[in-house]
Structure 1
């Protein structure tokens, strides 16, 4: 019996059966306490004393009655806000939307018709489309209508017949319209431009002979890739609306990116323009990358990429994965766009992997675009080239490496674009700036190294040539002769083919940035030459490829180019397909998916060729679709004679004006 009385476990069992009065502890007669949520009887005076002491201590440490009331109110408010946060957020957003619409309506009523009002209208419509898409997708209202599924049902005979009729009708419209345009607009008015058509045919034939399996080529993808490229060019380059729209967009982008100059001035001082490339252009790249990440956080870029990818997939019949990647190349670099499809890299086919690599070689990142534009390339033409190269890259990829097996990635998974998660809007902006800094390091280091290598190769070959009595023979001269046939069939003016083939060799063997710097220098020469002839009307002479101006004792290194050549060079060079890009591609895919490293190394050389062919085809298509309002304006043109040598010099007023605009925007002109 004594043992039972001293057993704590038995005491706990006994007292746990007592009725519950709301207390949290019990005490035995000998002072032992046992916590239990279902017992509350005071069984000993010792327990009561302990409770009194605890309550007294609590009264001393806890706030006053008024403070407790405020604390309860605070907790109640926080609890209610948490429970109704989604509703409150929607209410605030709705109020802001209504307030903005009121502001927009007043602005349109007050002044409509000038450029700022059109800009406000375009931005508002675009924003409302994004908002509507967001809410409709959440509500499940964006699914394909039932009647469309019934009419084009691929499992029924009626659906197959209608799809076949629809497809061949589009074939006839696209090809018939292209033939009519070439005959009426080009063959009659600009027959010289048909040389570019021959160049495109050569590219397609060579690609067919390089094909891994010619019998499996998806000619539907090839046809629509070329057709979309052509009709994009016609809309943008030949229609007044398309040309004006892209020029307006380019001007707005340049205007927006100029804001980075304020940051450069604060960080590097007012003399930052003394080192423009590092202290002006590279901060612009960081700023642009940060804005892109911020737009990703807001969901804007995802919608654009998914819709563009779906459009390419429907038109070309390509898989969603390769289509989404190609759409992403309009905004991201060749190392960033594969991150979108990283979860699928292990299961995509070799043909899809080849198309992904080709898309990276055939396009340029949106951030790097401004570096090229700063050296004189017209921004609207670079934007046009980026858009035109997207379907062309898929067409050449499917021609050289046809699909070997069906894709295993579902469409709904491929269109869920995601590059990472950010905690907040400012977090996304900061992360984008940090990533942009890494990109800056890559661009600066590669530019430094490749310029040095090119100079070394030039001087080395020059030294060996001089030993044999040959003057002025450099590595750049060698590649110029190698690529001369390619530039000739692209449709360049014969007088400029050697200069353009040299630029092409510089791009392939170094980087695209170096080639655009060279092109910018030639465009600058044209502007100086135009001013020289208008001011002095004096003599000049060729010194090799350079032009020496007698009146000012100035040498224009690299000479000048014609209107046609200056524009086409922008399209030909628009792409990251250089030898350095091969190493970047291998390293990128090896880090993202080591299991596919062998496949990447095996196929990347042909993807490099396909990417270059896509850029060349863009130049060819641009060659037979002259710019609206440009080809009929000669600008500064005429027969200029010097020391018995006569040369047709036709320099584009348009290229000169666009260069001056961009150069002034980036403060490049002295």
Structure 2
């Protein structure tokens, strides 16, 4: 079992440094930790022993396990001689701007607060309180802005300390009266009771019957049993993480599918995402013509927004916002589900930046991840989709609230499923803190440089998507042609024998376990099979364009949407193996060893979200599925 000796920082950060936003130099806590002791297990011995011979400067974005304080920095190696890394200061270019900002920062913040307060009072509260613009979303945004401005000057610990005290003296003390051997069984029974009440109390609408909801619950139980039976070591399964992950997934679904506030919030998020990515159309119009946008071609309607989104992500990463946001998001899962810091960061980042890019956030730690952590990182990538391709699915006419909620639900689902399939048996290097290291090796010189690099990266990602889709669709057509020719000799002609038909029958029981109405079991099974063998875009395209699938009931279409909303396919398997092997060449064998298990876990994570959606579907969501427009071909 690996163990790592922990050292204290040489110098303590000032109070002002702790309070500030994570990118400006006056707010950075510069802790230098010289790690010269790393006792490795036989499996990772050669990697960790290298740390003894190399002085390492650690300045991490992290949340300390004891204090809960959030810090920022970077992780990079320091070498001697000609290869010594030189820091390019850019002092003359930046000192005046940053110095001016530091001096007048309170004034800027007051001006920002005053402007948005006036906007909030006059607009949402007075003029538009009762019309279709609404007041809830603007109020939540205003509250979030106020909280962020306050935390520039008030330490988070002032709020978290009494909250932690209240938790320890209420829930922790209450559970202390329960014998330890009964805590997890009672928690499991309580979670099941929540699922039953939340699923069976609402009235029936159409084919959204209580019988179908019970089947969805039964399907979720079957998946949990399957993961437990096939676990690497079922005795080591952390049931706290499993129960907490499933319950969190259910709560998110209830908030989105059963409450007006949750529905409105996620509708707002999806509408804003669609509008943001829609601005790429202006660039396409400039390069071609306005009439090209009306053609609804994949090449002109989907690829440009992907390039624009990747460039925007790189810009947000350069200014430090993305690390700050992901760090806060990861902290929630770190504390509630008791996973390692690296796992929490990747799980929180994957829905926003994608499966390969999320692994890059923890690049300095990848060589030292345990097998269970590598499995978790890959499972997160397979379980959800990325924001860069979200516009592609929205352009098909899919329900945007369902897509966004599925992405968020897959975060706790992937953590729970992976811990059942491949529980942790070693000591992790990032246990006790959330760490989002800066990438000094590829750091951009300024914001414009970051945006340009992002555009180039977006072109490469878009090119990979185009090539992959072209080859996969052509290859599937080839297989279907061969199967159809073969099937005609057995009089299988209406419909012809195809890969989709075969997968539909193979996955027929899976569709039933998700709670799909009996008339649409074969079609949903075909879509799930297409998603795993080809990719989710092909499945979504068929769902919105082919009469065989557009004629399905709203319940079947929504469950199919959730079941296909993930990168869990054979093509992504090669992508993740390639990315992780490139980051840590010495761990390529370990990555390949757990890859198939991670793919299986990622697919099941997505299916658990579909099962929960089947339990909680409402009439409003079903009407939205019925009214969803079909994208033009």
Category of TM-score, reference length = shorter chain: 0.7 to 0.9
1:646 aligned residue: none
Structure 2 residue corresponding to 1:108, chosen from 98, 120, 127? 120
Structure 2 residue corresponding to 1:337, chosen from 331, 354, 358? 358
Q: 1:346: how far off?
A: 1.3
Q: 1:575: how far off?
A: 0.4
Separation in 1, partners of 2:438, 2:271: 29
Separation in 2, partners of 1:142, 1:321: 26
Q: Would the aligned equivalents of 1:582 and 1:608 in 2 still touch at CA under 8 Å? A: yes
Separation in 2, partners of 1:221, 1:180: 22
1:381 aligned residue: 402
Q: 2:600 aligned with 1:576, yes or no? A: no
Q: 1:276: how far off?
A: 2.0
Counterparts in 2 of 1:188-199, with a 5 A limit?
A: 190-199=210-219
Q: Give the gaps of 5 or more residues in structure 1.
A: 1-78, 526-544, 546-557, 631-651
Q: 2:203 aligned with 1:233, yes or no? A: no
Q: 1:82: how far off?
A: 8.7
The two structures have a TM-score, normalised by structure 2, of 0.76
Separation in 1, partners of 2:160, 2:194: 30
Separation in 1, partners of 2:492, 2:193: 53
Q: Secondary structure at the match of 2:555?
A: helix
Structure 2 residue corresponding to 1:427, chosen from 431, 437, 449? 449
Counterparts in 2 of 1:147-158, with a 5 A limit?
A: 148=164, 152=168
Q: 1:592 to 1:415 in 2, by over 3 A?
A: closer
Structure 1 residue corresponding to 2:346, chosen from 325, 349, 357? 325
Structure 2 residue corresponding to 1:600, chosen from 579, 591, 610? 591
Higher RCO, Cα 8 Å, sep 6+: 2
The two structures have a TM-score, normalised by structure 1, of 0.72
Q: Secondary structure at the match of 1:335?
A: helix
Counterparts in 2 of 1:519-530, with a 5 A limit?
A: 519-522=543-546, 525=547
Counterparts in 2 of 1:510-589, with a 5 A limit?
A: 510-522=534-546, 525=547, 545=548, 558=549, 560-589=551-580
Q: Would the aligned equivalents of 1:293 and 1:429 in 2 still touch at CA under 8 Å? A: yes
Counterparts in 2 of 1:442-481, with a 5 A limit?
A: 442-471=464-493, 472-481=496-505
Structure 2 residue corresponding to 1:145, chosen from 157, 161, 164? 161
Structure 2 residue corresponding to 1:180, chosen from 197, 221, 229? 197
Q: Deviations over 1:562-615 (max 9, x none)?
A: 010111111000100001111111111110101110011111001000000000
Counterparts in 2 of 1:266-665, with a 5 A limit?
A: 266-273=286-293, 274=295, 276-412=297-433, 414-416=435-437, 421-471=443-493, 472-522=496-546, 525=547, 545=548, 558=549, 560-627=551-618, 629-630=620-621, 652-657=622-627, 659-660=628-629
Q: Deviations over 1:485-538 (max 9, x none)?
A: 11111111111111111111111111111111111214xx5xxxxxxxxxxxxx
Q: Deviations over 1:242-274 (max 9, x none)?
A: 112111221122122221111110012234233
Separation in 2, partners of 1:142, 1:167: 31
Q: 1:109 to 1:577 in 2, by over 3 A?
A: closer
Q: 2:177 aligned with 1:207, yes or no? A: no
Q: 1:128: how far off?
A: 3.9
Q: 1:345: how far off?
A: 1.0
Q: Would the aligned equivalents of 2:330 and 2:434 in 1 still touch at CA under 8 Å? A: no
Q: Secondary structure at the match of 2:302?
A: helix
Q: 1:483: how far off?
A: 0.8
CA-based RMSD of the aligned residues comes to 3.2
Q: Would the aligned equivalents of 1:243 and 1:628 in 2 still touch at CA under 8 Å? A: no
2:238 aligned residue: 218
Q: Would the aligned equivalents of 1:320 and 1:414 in 2 still touch at CA under 8 Å? A: yes
2:69 aligned residue: none
Q: 1:193 to 1:413 in 2, by over 3 A?
A: closer
Separation in 2, partners of 1:126, 1:418: 28
Return the index of the structure with the highest Cα Rg.
Answer: 1
Separation in 2, partners of 1:193, 1:461: 36
Separation in 2, partners of 1:618, 1:191: 19
Separation in 2, partners of 1:369, 1:97: 34
Q: Would the aligned equivalents of 2:277 and 2:309 in 1 still touch at CA under 8 Å? A: yes
Q: 1:244 to 1:160 in 2, by over 3 A?
A: closer
Q: Would the aligned equivalents of 1:186 and 1:624 in 2 still touch at CA under 8 Å? A: no
Q: Deviations over 1:332-366 (max 9, x none)?
A: 11111000111111111111111111000001111
Q: 1:421 to 1:163 in 2, by over 3 A?
A: farther
Q: Would the aligned equivalents of 2:346 and 2:361 in 1 still touch at CA under 8 Å? A: yes
Q: 1:202 to 1:118 in 2, by over 3 A?
A: closer
Separation in 2, partners of 1:463, 1:623: 38
Separation in 2, partners of 1:191, 1:253: 36
Separation in 2, partners of 1:486, 1:360: 22
Q: 1:142: how far off?
A: 6.6
Q: 1:85 to 1:141 in 2, by over 3 A?
A: farther
Separation in 1, partners of 2:159, 2:124: 37
Separation in 2, partners of 1:347, 1:189: 49
Q: Secondary structure at the match of 1:126?
A: helix
Q: Deviations over 1:395-420 (max 9, x none)?
A: 11000111111212254462556585
Q: 1:119: how far off?
A: 5.3
2:144 aligned residue: 126
Q: 2:263 aligned with 1:247, yes or no? A: no
Separation in 1, partners of 2:317, 2:286: 28
Q: 1:108 to 1:82 in 2, by over 3 A?
A: closer
Separation in 2, partners of 1:306, 1:376: 32
Q: 1:653 to 1:409 in 2, by over 3 A?
A: closer
Separation in 2, partners of 1:235, 1:147: 23
Separation in 2, partners of 1:413, 1:151: 21
Separation in 2, partners of 1:580, 1:401: 22
2:10 aligned residue: none
Q: 1:491 to 1:135 in 2, by over 3 A?
A: same
1:47 aligned residue: none
Q: 1:287: how far off?
A: 1.3
Separation in 1, partners of 2:489, 2:459: 46
Q: 1:183: how far off?
A: 4.4
When structure 1 is superposed on structure 2, of 165-174 and 106-115 the one drifting more is: 165-174
Q: Would the aligned equivalents of 1:480 and 1:505 in 2 still touch at CA under 8 Å? A: yes
Q: 1:281 to 1:116 in 2, by over 3 A?
A: farther
When structure 1 is superposed on structure 2, of 84-93 and 194-203 the one drifting more is: 84-93
When structure 1 is superposed on structure 2, of 367-376 and 352-361 the one drifting more is: 367-376
